[in-house]
Amino acid sequence: MAVETPQVSVAGASRSTNPLDVFRIAIARELARITNLDVGFIFAALERSSTLDKGDLVLAVPRLRIKSADLTPAAQAENLVSQSQKDDRSIPRRKLPLVKQPIADGISLQFYMNPAALPGILLPFVLQHGNDYGSDRAIGLRNPATSSTDNSTGNIDEDDATRKTVLVEFSSPNIAKEFHFGRLRSTIIGAFLANLYESCGYHVIRMNYLGDWGRQFGLLASGWEKYGDEAAFDRDPIRHLFEIYVKISADFKPEERGKGSRRRHIAYFKRMEDGDPVALALWERLRALSIQRYEATYARLNIRFTDYSGESRVRKETIARVLQVLEDRGIAEPDGGALIVDFAKHGKKKVATAILRNRNGTSTYLLRDLGAAVQRHDDYTFDEMIYVVMSEQEAHLKWLFLTMELMGEPYTALSRKTEHISFGKVRGMSTRRGTVVFLDDVVNDVTDFMHEQMRGNATKYREVADPAQTAEALAVSAIMVQDMLGKRANSYSFDLQRMTSFEGDTGPYLQYAHARLCSISRKAGFTRDDLLATPSDFNLLLADSSYAYDLLRVVARYPDIVRQAMKTLEPTTILTYLFALAHTLSSSYDHLRVVNPPEGPSMSRARAALYGSARQTLHNGMVLLGLTPVDR
């Protein structure tokens, strides 16, 4: 594939997964010859351009630190341009250079991929990598062509020993409580991060840390004794528990709440913590059935958890171990019967105290989280752990990480592996059905709305084979795209009308773009082998069209964008790219006919390969985000 450049290994470069690196290496070698600098050094300085009008790759010349007393960086840039021109003419083997002559732009050099070389390199690359295009999972693959037809990673796990493990904790709803926006966003962002790490070669543990323990569950259990209804529970455990919780909480409104009844449910929780079998048996049942329902709902969003853990699953021994360390090392101190950490006393600027154990001996949220972190590391020995939790819990997680840090080794090391990924609020997330008890309620509501919109266009509606299913797929994309559009830290308004629209940067728009590409390849009728038969033709056939060129350039950056997303951990990094791809596509259709083009059948094939690659790229980006691309 990289016809002219013999294999050189450059740190951070991956020719086998990132086409831009093929060009980066070519440029770096060229400049290395001129400047005598190290190839790897130049390679690392070559950045992807921010927009295509600035070239494909950009080099800020000062980064080369060329020592020259009399030349300004701009003059150095000019110099490099003229020297590379000279060299190019003098080297006969460069019949088809990968990159056009650089352009000096102030202190920078802009590099454009050669339109006569790009198609022949890129299109086979994308088509062969298939579902793995943009993923570093493929590094372990000896022959990507054979495994690119599905998502299976079955045959590449031989290198598991070298894979890093990341534990991503996300979603983590509270049983019997409202499904707050915080859980929605955590679900969407967490699922994306898990996919992202996986696609970059990590072994990923997806953990749901249920809010299934604490004093309020003493209350819920007493509510069950009063209001529990087996039939209603069987029908919809999540909603029934929520209703019970609402009723029993109302019974305990401050004005009606006698000290005695409050003490009763605290006492019930104490029984749970002490391992009372009767109290626990009831609790286990409520929990198990709730999880069954959770699983079914997450499946609608294509999410499967490795582990339904939860606050209740933190082992007593682990908590005891943590407490022991906290006490032995003088981090925790008694405070009127409770146990607390006073951060100020440990040289932390934070003026805060956190409670670890309540007066009656029961654990707090913080203590359970400490135990949970240690236990997760015991169970999974991860390299990194990510908490995808709304910004409101920033302080809590800070205390958690700080306490671990104070605890000394091995806990300090553990605290360094942890990271809080936080996100802003959603305004106005309510549904027409009333309280959002679980994810289902949101999905159902948006699905109904989507379905109504689709019915609005009677002719189109009749063409859709399974409208209910399509409506759901579109609704799920609508919800997810709306959530991932901005930076995580930004808040947004839940806007049914806007998110379900086929215009603008929405989920349905992306789905439409994908379905249109599927329809093009159905009409063109080439198999993948047809497309791969004569890739060298692509250079001749596609070089002259600026529309083809721009589309190729956008497609070529996808793996680099995924790499960038690993740095930002922002879904919008991928999403913004996908919208740019979709826009480039829609302005190309009128200019690049695929079916029966006047230029003849080989042009039809070249363009089918071009659109096929664009479809693959869009598909892979959507899947990475957690969307399910529709074909029609």
Residues that bind ligand ARG (CB under 6 A): 169, 172, 174, 183, 209, 211, 369, 387, 389
- The secondary structure of 339-402, three-state, reads EEEEHHHHCCCCCCEEEEECCCCCECHHHHHHHHHHHHHHHHCCCEEEEECCHHHHHHHHHHHH
Considering beta carbons, is residue 387 or 438 the nearer one to ligand ARG?
387
Closest distance of CB 172 from ligand ARG, Å: 4
* CA 534 – CA 390 distance, rounded (Å): 51
Closest distance of CB 368 from ligand ARG, Å: 8
Closest distance of CB 183 from ligand ARG, Å: 6
Closest distance of CB 192 from ligand ARG, Å: 17
Q: How many Cα atoms occupy the beta-carbon half-sphere of 122 within 13 Å?
A: 37
Considering beta carbons, is residue 389 or 625 the nearer one to ligand ARG?
389
Closest distance of CB 372 from ligand ARG, Å: 6
* CA 205 – CA 83 distance, rounded (Å): 52
- Closest residue by Cα to residue 313 from 376, 355, 222, 358: 376
Which tokens go with 503?
A: 């215009």
- Closest residue by Cα to residue 453 from 434, 436, 475, 431: 475
**What is the DSSP secondary structure assignment for residue 308, as one 8-state letter?**
E
Considering beta carbons, is residue 21 or 369 the nearer one to ligand ARG?
369
Considering beta carbons, is residue 17 or 174 the nearer one to ligand ARG?
174
Do you find a cis peptide bond into 598, omega within 30 degrees of 0?
Answer: no
State the CB neighbour count (10 A cutoff) for residue 44: 16
Closest distance of CB 434 from ligand ARG, Å: 20
- Write the single-letter amino acid at 195: N
Considering beta carbons, is residue 30 or 483 the nearer one to ligand ARG?
483
Tell the residue number behind the tokens 């999905």, with chain if given.
Answer: 443
* CA 492 – CA 515 distance, rounded (Å): 28
Q: How far apart are the first and last CA of the chain?
A: 34
**What is the DSSP secondary structure assignment for residue 52, as one 8-state letter?**
G
DSSP letter string over 98-152?
Answer: SBPPPEEETTEEEE-B-TTTHHHHHHHHHHHHGGGTT-GGGGG-S-HHHHTTS--
CB 403 within 8 A of CB 323: no
Considering beta carbons, is residue 124 or 211 the nearer one to ligand ARG?
211
DSSP letter string over 202-269?
Answer: -EEEEEEEEB--SHHHHHHHHHHHHH--HHHHHH-HHHHHHHHHHHHHHHT-TTT--HHHHHHHHHHH
CB 429 within 8 A of CB 436: yes
**What is the DSSP secondary structure assignment for residue 533, as one 8-state letter?**
S
Considering beta carbons, is residue 125 or 209 the nearer one to ligand ARG?
209
The SS3 assignment for 310 reads: strand
Give the burial class of 443: count Cβ atoms within 10 A of its Cβ; 0-12 exposed, 13-18 middle, 19 or more buried.
buried
Closest distance of CB 387 from ligand ARG, Å: 5
Closest distance of CB 170 from ligand ARG, Å: 9
Closest distance of CB 299 from ligand ARG, Å: 21
Considering beta carbons, is residue 59 or 385 the nearer one to ligand ARG?
385
Residue count of the chain: 632
Considering beta carbons, is residue 133 or 411 the nearer one to ligand ARG?
411
Phi, psi of 57 (to 5 degrees): -130, 145
Closest distance of CB 249 from ligand ARG, Å: 17
* CA 602 – CA 618 distance, rounded (Å): 24
Considering beta carbons, is residue 179 or 509 the nearer one to ligand ARG?
179
Which tokens go with 406?
A: 């104070």
Considering beta carbons, is residue 295 or 505 the nearer one to ligand ARG?
295
Considering beta carbons, is residue 227 or 365 the nearer one to ligand ARG?
365
State the CB neighbour count (10 A cutoff) for residue 466: 10
| Closest residue to ligand ARG using C-beta atoms | 211
Closest distance of CB 526 from ligand ARG, Å: 49
- What 287-294 contacts at long range (C-beta under 8 Å, 24+ apart), as own/partner pairs, is 287/175, 287/210, 287/212, 287/312, 289/233, 289/234, 289/237, 290/175, 290/237, 290/238, 290/241, 291/210, 292/237, 293/236, 293/237, 293/238, 293/438, 294/173, 294/208, 294/238, 294/438
Considering beta carbons, is residue 211 or 507 the nearer one to ligand ARG?
211
Closest distance of CB 367 from ligand ARG, Å: 11
CB 559 within 8 A of CB 18: yes
Closest distance of CB 309 from ligand ARG, Å: 9
Closest distance of CB 587 from ligand ARG, Å: 44
State the CB neighbour count (10 A cutoff) for residue 479: 27
Closest distance of CB 22 from ligand ARG, Å: 42
- Closest residue by Cα to residue 573 from 151, 193, 205, 301: 193
